[in-house]
Amino acid sequence: MKGIYLIGFMGSGKTSVAISLSDKLQLPVQDTDQMIVDYTKSSIASIFDRCGEETFRNYESEMLKRTEGEGKITSTGGGIVERESNCDWLRRNGLVFYLDTSWDVILDRLKDDKSRPIWNNNQRDKRKLLESRIPKYEATANYVIKTDGKDPEAIADEMIALINAPK
């Protein structure tokens, strides 16, 4: 089976769902943001601050390619779909789940968040950003999971049912 990839906007719960899925399936979990932090020995915020978004996106594309492998669960950064080459790569190499979370839930979850550079950039209209990314998430994913009102366990169970469903 191809590796399992979680995509979705900031605050959609990719990290928590990946951990729950990893517990249930007994598969290792990895995270492209964490891989960037480990590789650069810098925080995401500091990469944005010192080198800019383009450099961060270069690291992100590079780390995505390094995640390749069967039997792994990978949580990706919310902007992974900003590059069509990443979407192509995901379609070719992964079993991709889009965690589809409404704007209201995202807003509520991230209201006190100070760690995400894109979220904390006042110049950027985050709702428009979400709307512009939705078609990209949908066009990349094999499965779309509506997450509002569900906890990570329930979402992971829904994913497992889809993975095991007869084709």
CA dist 58 → 48, 52, 55, 63, 97 (Å) = 12, 10, 5, 9, 23
Tokens of 152: 């990570």
Q: Tell which residue, 45, 47, 46, 81, has the closest CA to residue 64.
A: 81
- How far is the C-alpha of 120 from the C-alpha of 43, rounded, in Å? 15
Least distance in angstroms from the C-beta of 153 to ligand S3P:
19
By CB under 6 A, is residue 117 in contact with ligand S3P?
A: yes
Interface region with ligand S3P, contact rule CB under 6 A, candidates 17-25, 90-98, 115-123, 147-155: 115-123
Amino acid residing at 56: F
Q: Is residue 100 part of the contact set for ligand S3P (CB under 6 A)?
A: no
If one asks whether residue 79 binds ligand S3P (CB under 6 A), the answer comes out as yes
For residue 83, give the amino acid letter: R
Residue 44 as a binder of ligand S3P (CB under 6 A): the answer is yes
Based on the shown chain and the rule CB under 6 A, indicate whether residue 13 belongs to the binding site for ligand S3P.
no
Q: Does 116 bind ligand S3P (CB under 6 A)?
A: yes
Instruction: Pick between residue 52 and residue 70 the one whose CB is nearest to ligand S3P.
Output: 52
Nearer to ligand S3P, 17 or 159 (CB): 17
Q: Measured at CB, which residue is nearest to ligand S3P?
A: 77
Distances (CA, A) of 131 to 54, 82, 126, 161: 21, 12, 9, 28
Q: Report if residue 35 touches ligand S3P, rule: CB under 6 A.
A: no
Determine which residue in the list 10, 17, 73, 90 makes contact with ligand S3P, applying CB under 6 A.
Answer: 10
Measure the CA–CA gap between 27 and 71, rounded to whole angstroms: 6
Residues that bind ligand S3P (CB under 6 A): 10, 14, 33, 44, 77-79, 116-118
